[in-house]
Structure 1
Amino acid sequence: MYLEFVLIFILSLVLVALVKYYAPKIGLVDEPNSRSSHSSIIPRGAGIGFYLAVVIIMPIFHFDQVLLNTWTCLAVFLVFIVGVLDDHHDASPNTKFIVLILSTILLSFDGVIIDEVGIFFGVDITLGWLALPFTMFAIVGFTNALNLIDGLDGLAATVSIVVLGSFLAVGYMHDDFFMMVTSMAFLSALLAFLVFNWHPASIFMGDSGSLTLGFVISVLAVKSLAYMPTVSILFITAIPIFDTLIVMIRRKLNGRSAFSADRCHFHHILRHFFAEDTKKTVLFLGVLQGIYSLTGLQLDKTMDEGYLLILFAFNIVLLYMFLGAMIKRQKRDC
C-alpha cells in the first residue's frame, strides 16, 4: 500500500518541476502587488503538477475507489479546472463560485452531504431540506478560506499537510479506506511540492492547488462527520477558518466590505512579529494548526457539541483580541 505514495511523491517532483519550467512560457506567473510577500515574478500553477501526480497514480492502484466515488472525483476535477483557468486569469470570481456550487451538488450524488450537525445542549439538530444549502455554504466557505491563507511560501501546503495528516488518522482509526488513501495521496504530493515552495519559493501552487486542496479537505471533513463531532472538524481545520472569520469580522466592524483586500491576515501580522521571517511564521502556524488538530481528534462523537462550540468561539475571541493588539502595535490599517 506504500508504493503508490512513493510514486506520487516522485511524480509530483517531476511534474511540478516541469510546470515551473513551462509556466512563464504560457502565462502562469504571479506578479507582485502591494499585498505580496515577494518582490519578483514567480511561476505559479504547481497545483497542476501535484494534482496530476495523484490522478495518474491512484487509479492504477485503487481504481475501485474511483468507481465507488465517481461523482466525487468528477467534482474535484471541475474545481481543479477552474483553478487552472484562474491561474491563467481566465476565470472570474462568479465562475469559481458557480463551479464550486455545481461541484458540491455532484458530491451529494455520492452521499457527501451534511444532513445533521450534532447534539447541541441536548437538542439533536438535523437539517432536512437545508442539508444541501448548508453543505454548499460549508464547502465553498472552507475552500475559499484555504485559498486566502495561501499568502506565504509554504504556508498553505504546511497547514494542509497537518490537516490531511489528521484526516489520515481519522480514516485509520475508523477503517475508512477512501479517507486514508486520499489523505495520504495528497499529503505525498504536497511534500514533493514543498521542495519547491519552501522559502524562498521558486513556484507557487496557485488556485489550481489551493482551490483543489480546499475542496478535497472539505470532502474529507464531511466524510469525517460519520465518526466525529462537527466541532471536532472545526478544530482540525482551525487556522483557515479562524483567519477568514476574524478578518471578515474586523472588516465589518470597521465599516468595510467583508471581502475587501488588505494585509491583515494571520500570516501578515505574524510575519511582521517574527521580523519578516517567513520560515518562522509558517512553522509557528503549522504547529498551532497541529495543536488545534490534536484537540479536535480528542473529542468524542457522543459529546454535547454546544459546549464544544462555546470553546471554539472562545478561541476566536481570544485570537481576535490578541491579533487586534498586534495590529494596533504595528499601526496597520485594518
Structure 2
Amino acid sequence: MAVNLASSVTSFLIAFVVLPLIIRYMMRNKILDAPDSRKVHKVSTPSLGGIAIFAGFMLSTLVFMDFSHWDNMRYILASLFLVFLIGVRDDVVPFKATHKLFGQLVAIAVLCISTVRIDSFYGLLGIETLPAWVSYGLTGFSIVIITNAFNLIDGLDGLAGSVGLVALGAFGIWFYAVDDLVFSMMCFSLIGGILAFLIYNWQPAVIFMGDTGAMVIGMMLSILAIRFMNVNAGLPDENPWQYNAPIATAASFIIVPLTDTLRIIILRLSRGQSPFKADKSHIHHALMGNGYTHGETALILAAVSTIFVVLAWVCRDYSDKWLIPAIVVSAALFGFLVGKIKFKKSLTAN
C-alpha cells in the first residue's frame, strides 16, 4: 500500500502544480468553454483540466510501475495516450462525432494487443469462452459505451471527478487485495490527479476536465472493469475477494454513468427524438432542476455509486443470473425516481 500512497501523492502534486499553469494559459489565450443552452455554467471557463490529471497519472505510473509487466502495460498506456490526444483536440477544436468514434476505435485496437479483453461470459447463460471475433467486438463495444457514458456525466462542477473517485477506489482496493499491484497502483495514481483537480473544479469551478479528462477516466474505468472480470475468474473459490457475479459487479462499480446513458436514450426515444441529440435530460440535470446545487448533486451521485459498490460486496456470493436483473431493476428505479427527489425537499423547505 505504500507504493499506492506514494503514487497517489506524486500524481496529486504534479496535477496541483500544473493546473494553475493551464488556467492562466487558457485565460490569457481565451481558450474557454463558453456557456450555451445545453450547459449549466454561466461564465466562460477553461476546459483542459484533463491535461493535469493525465500528466499526474502518467508520470506517477511510469515512476512507480513494476516494469516486469511492461510488455502488456505499454499497450494499455498507449491506448490511454491516444484517447488523451483525441480529448485535447476535441476540447480545442471539436471533432465530428464520427471522427471522435474512429479515434476511440483506433485506441481500442491498440489496447486489444494487450491481455485486456472480454474473452468469456463467466458462465452466464451457460457461456464460458467466447470466439475471438465475438471477444474483440464485445470488448470494443463495451469500451466505447463506458468511455462515452462517463464523458456524458461530466456536466456539473465536481460530478465526474467524484463519481470517478468512487469507482477507482473500489477497483484499486480490490486489485490490491488480490495482489494485482500494477493495476491497483494505476487506480491510485489516477485518484491523486483527480483529487487535485477537484480542488479547482468544485463549485464554483475555475476549470473543467473536458473531454481530455473525462474520456481518459472513462477509458481507464472500462479497462479496469474488463481486467476485474478476467482476474476474478482466475481466483480460487476460497478467496474471500472473489465475486460470483463478475459482470454485475463491474457494472455496479460504474453504475451512475451506465444508468444515466440508458436513461437518456429511453427518454429521448420516448419523445420521438434521436438518442444522440444533446439536451438537458441527464440525471444531474434532473437533480439540479429539482433544486440541488452542483455540490449536492455530485455528492448524491457519488453516494449512489458507493451504495452500489457496497451492495455488490454484500451480494458477492450470488451469481450474475440473479444480480444482473437486480441491478437493472434497481438502476431503472433510481433513474425513474431521481426526478422526484426534489418534491420531498420542497415540502421540507416549505
Pick the aligned partner of 2:271 from 245, 248, 254: 254
**Does 2:64 match 1:61?**
yes
* Paired residue type of 2:272: G
Deviation at 1:57, TM superposition (A): 2.9
Q: Per the alignment, in what secondary structure is the counterpart of residue 207 of structure 2?
A: coil
1:175-194 pair list within 5 angstroms:
175-194=179-198
Deviations 1:1-28 (A, max 9, x none): 2333222111110111111111234453
Q: Per the alignment, in what secondary structure is the counterpart of residue 112 of structure 2?
A: helix
Seen in structure 2, the aligned counterparts of structure 1 residues 313 and 201 have a Cα distance that, compared at 3 Å, is same
* Paired residue type of 1:294: V
**Does 2:323 match 1:308?**
yes
TM-score, length-scaled by structure 2: 0.88
Seen in structure 2, the aligned counterparts of structure 1 residues 28 and 296 have a Cα distance that, compared at 3 Å, is farther
Contact 2:286 2:339 in 1 (8 A): no
Q: Per the alignment, in what secondary structure is the counterpart of residue 127 of structure 2?
A: strand
Seen in structure 2, the aligned counterparts of structure 1 residues 112 and 299 have a Cα distance that, compared at 3 Å, is farther
Deviation at 1:295, TM superposition (A): 1.9
Q: How many correspondences in the alignment?
A: 326
Q: Per the alignment, in what secondary structure is the counterpart of residue 84 of structure 1?
A: helix
Deviation at 1:298, TM superposition (A): 3.8
Contact 2:287 2:339 in 1 (8 A): no
Residue matched to 1:289: 305
> For structure 1, which runs of at least 5 residues remain unmatched after alignment?
330-334
Taking the aligned partners of 2:30 and 2:117, their CA distance within structure 1 comes to 37
Seen in structure 2, the aligned counterparts of structure 1 residues 95 and 27 have a Cα distance that, compared at 3 Å, is farther
Residue matched to 1:245: 262
Seen in structure 2, the aligned counterparts of structure 1 residues 185 and 277 have a Cα distance that, compared at 3 Å, is same
Taking the aligned partners of 2:292 and 2:315, their CA distance within structure 1 comes to 36
Deviation at 1:140, TM superposition (A): 0.5
**Does 2:142 match 1:127?**
no
Moved more, 70-79 or 314-323: 314-323
Residue matched to 1:235: 252
Deviation at 1:264, TM superposition (A): 1.2
Taking the aligned partners of 1:127 and 1:68, their CA distance within structure 2 comes to 21
Pick the aligned partner of 2:92 from 88, 92, 111: 88
Taking the aligned partners of 1:328 and 1:298, their CA distance within structure 2 comes to 31
RMSD of Structure 2 on Structure 1 (CA): 2.0
1:14-163 pair list within 5 angstroms:
14-62=17-65, 64=67, 65-120=69-124, 123-128=126-131, 129-163=133-167
Deviation at 1:94, TM superposition (A): 1.6
* Paired residue type of 2:285: H
Contact 2:45 2:206 in 1 (8 A): yes
Contact 1:238 1:292 in 2 (8 A): yes
Residue matched to 1:332: none
Deviations 1:258-309 (A, max 9, x none): 1111111110111122x24221111111111111122223443x74311111
Seen in structure 2, the aligned counterparts of structure 1 residues 68 and 29 have a Cα distance that, compared at 3 Å, is same
Deviation at 1:322, TM superposition (A): 1.7
Seen in structure 2, the aligned counterparts of structure 1 residues 244 and 217 have a Cα distance that, compared at 3 Å, is same
Contact 2:7 2:185 in 1 (8 A): no
Taking the aligned partners of 2:94 and 2:335, their CA distance within structure 1 comes to 35
Residue matched to 1:321: 336
Taking the aligned partners of 1:66 and 1:196, their CA distance within structure 2 comes to 33
Taking the aligned partners of 2:36 and 2:70, their CA distance within structure 1 comes to 40
Taking the aligned partners of 2:155 and 2:77, their CA distance within structure 1 comes to 27
Deviation at 1:211, TM superposition (A): 0.5
Taking the aligned partners of 1:57 and 1:104, their CA distance within structure 2 comes to 23
Deviations 1:174-219 (A, max 9, x none): 1111221110000011000001001110000011000011001111
Contact 1:119 1:306 in 2 (8 A): no
Residue matched to 1:267: 284
